[in-house]
Chain A
Amino acid sequence: MTGLFHSWVSAPAIKIFLLIALFCDPAKATSPTVPEELSEGVVRFALATGDITAALPLQDRLKGDSADYLRGRLLLESGNVQQGLDTLVQVAQGRYHRGEAALMVARHYGAEGDADESRNWYQVAAKNGFGETRQKARFALAELQRHAGRLDAAGKTLAGMDEGYWTAVGYLNLATDFARTDLNPSRALVSLRVALAMCETDTNRERSKELKSRLLVRAGQLAYAHEDYDKAIGFLKKVSLDSYRTPQALYLHGLALSEQGNYRAAMQSWHRAKKYPLAYPGVEDAWLGMGRGYDLAGYLGQAGEAFLAASAAYEGERATLRELEKRIREAGAYKSLVDDARNADLEWFLADSRTLTQPRLAYLLGLIENPVTQRAVARVAELEEMIASLEQQERDLTVFMAALGNKPSSDTQGRSKQLSADQDALTNAVAALSGPNISPAQKRHIRELRDALNASGSVLERLSNVGGGNNQRQPRKRQAERLRKQTQSLLVEVRAVRDEAGKALDRLALEFIEQEDQRMAFALDKTEQQIAHLYEYLALKKLDGGKP
């Protein structure tokens, strides 16, 4: 949200506005800025962008088929949950937006943990909704069936869906369950192939590309685990190079190639995976793989160097993790991981394809893979936004109070008198212009002049009534003071909840950092073992008198 004052508005100008405001007719002051015809559009824009404050007063002016639906959403978004829910339930039973309203109600109950009520409303949304609403509702129903262990029922629900993103995500999740329960990968692979086909028809290219990469990595991993290396390579080589899953795909690609004895090609893939931060899955294995590859190919010297390089990289990463941990303890996880990453956006125009090579972003992505952490981050983000908005209000109200405290100077009063005299002189001059020999064009000009003088006369009249300006100024000042006190009290409460939510996020982030550190420590152990084996082998060879 931008500040209240635009840069072109100077401080004296603010005072002038405030003075003019004091002279205005209070009944007219609440006159709506938004024309009734545009109210619905303004509310839609506010709901879509999440900045609803300015749109909230419009909820009673909404008219038309979408009015109740938009009103319900506004109420829900503004924290009036029960009212919003009641409105949306009525909309879901009405004639318009039935599916969308039912979907929102279902999500609300889902977030509250009421599975039965949530399922009922998803069924209503699936029955009455159209397009994406219907797809989302059916996907959610399939997910509920899958969570209940009813995989066949989930498959049936997905089979009845149209092609697209939601169906693809449903099949991906189903494939994960099949892979977990079946000894044979065929059902999981079929699900993944269906998901890939469904994903192709998604019109949102970015999300489709990311999902496709995820599907291909999963399929490649599954094929590799069941020793079908050609199939694995076929899937993995199609993964986009600009994806969160790219390093893992490169590592698995190398692994499948090495199983076929093609160490040179395998090492090329691992070499590419090594360029990504160690936070990504598969990268630490790629570092180890390089040493193993040289070893298997018979280049023992290079193998030793590669293992030593891997060891140094893991040590370096552990130092980075210690730094990150220290920063999280000092500044909090939100500031260290989310806010700082966002601030880098200032130089967005310098962005290049190396976005994925930033360790902080890599850890942020790893951290928010967990839905519990996503929710913890969302909580802090919402509270931070509330704090920023309240702080802005506090600053603005302080400026108003200072400006309202200033009495009009004697100079202002003198100018007011002069303006009244000028007004009278001009009114008399215009009145003297009327006569029989005036053309229609001149008459029009005189009428315009008279209108302009009437308008300025009404302003001056109000100005003259402000002799008792304090009568107007003092209530406004008191109102500003009351609002500022309310703002400050709300700020205290919001900051307290933000601290609590921030600590919960810090705990999750520190646990995650510890896990990552253990992962690095484990990789370091493995590397040291490899180095020890290598040196042992070389020593034995030397003792035998043979060349290694």
Chain B
Amino acid sequence: MLTPARLAQYVLPLMVLGSTQLMASTAVDQQIEQLRARVSAHSVEVNRFEQELLHPVDTRVAVFLTLAGRNGLEVDAVELFIDGQPVASHLYSKRERNALERGGVQQLFTGNLSNGGHEIKAVISVRTAKDQFIRRESVHRFTKSTGTHRLQLALDAHAPDYEPDVTITEWK
């Protein structure tokens, strides 16, 4: 079966070989460029409107995922639970893994929570530098107060066993 990774494996080198050839842009390219600008501006407006409606600032909670360092960890999947209820899950592509390794921050979840005490549980499946698949659970209790509440999950691994370790930071 064809996976994007497999397709890229065959196609990417082919694309690279032709990429530097000078090809004049066509009228369609110019139309696409103009449309891209308009669609992007419109999407930002819609996105902002949706945020305001669906995630009111008083109840808004956002969770971010980062890699604390380039330690050979390959994130495979993340599942997120708030107060025991699954709220987000993500299976990582190679492109996303690379983006995280290069200092990218993923906005994993945006939702709503009432003020008061809550519990967040992150279940992270990773492949370690030693080529082992490990599933790690991390639980954190926090108190949601009025205003946007942001939590950062930082994934790291330390010598000598290089097993994954999740640190949860709260941003006020």
Contact = CB atoms under 8 A, between A and B. Distances in A.
A458 interface: yes
Contacts of A25: 57
A342 B152 contact: no
Contacts of A177: none
Interface string B53-92: 1111111101010100000000000000000011110000
Contact of B98 (A28, A37, A48, A487): A48
Nearest to A374: B15
Interface stretch (A186-194, A263-271, A316-324, A393-401): A393-401
A328 B66 CA distance: 43
A500 B9 CA distance: 29
B128 interface: no
Nearest to A32: B148
A40 B33 CA distance: 25
A396 to B, nearest CB: 7
Interface string A1-19: 0001010100000100110
A540 to B, nearest CB: 48
Contacts of B18: 370-371, 374
Interface string A334-367: 0000000110110110110001001001000100
B9 to A, nearest CB: 5
A45 B105 contact: yes
A500 B28 CA distance: 8
A81 B33 contact: yes
B45 interface: yes
B1 A350 contact: yes
A504 B24 contact: no
A173 B43 contact: no
B42 interface: yes
Given A45-B105, A374-B18, A393-B43, A33 B3 contact: no
B126 to A, nearest CB: 17
Given A110-B22, A355-B1, A355-B2, A369 B14 contact: yes
A429 interface: no
Nearest to A397: B46
B107 A54 contact: yes
Contacts of B33: 79, 81
Nearest to B112: A17
A169 B17 CA distance: 7
Contacts, number: 262
Interface residues of A, number: 105
Tell me whether chain A's interface is mostly helix, strand or loop, or mixed. helix
A494 B52 CA distance: 27
A42 interface: yes
B137 interface: no
Contacts of A80: 37, 40
Nearest to A115: B22
A382 B47 CA distance: 19
Contacts of A56: 40, 43-44
5 contacts: A17-B56, A34-B150, A110-B22, A344-B2, A497-B32
Interface of A: 4, 6, 8, 14, 17-18, 20-21, 23-25, 28-35, 37-38, 40-42, 44-45, 48-50, 52-54, 56-57, 78-81, 110-113, 115, 118, 139-140, 143-144, 147, 169, 172-173, 206-207, 210-211, 214, 244, 341-342, 344-345, 347-348, 350-351, 355, 358, 361, 365, 368-372, 374-375, 379, 382-383, 386, 389-390, 393, 396-397, 400, 452, 455-456, 458-459, 476, 479-480, 483, 486-487, 490, 493-494, 497, 500-501, 504
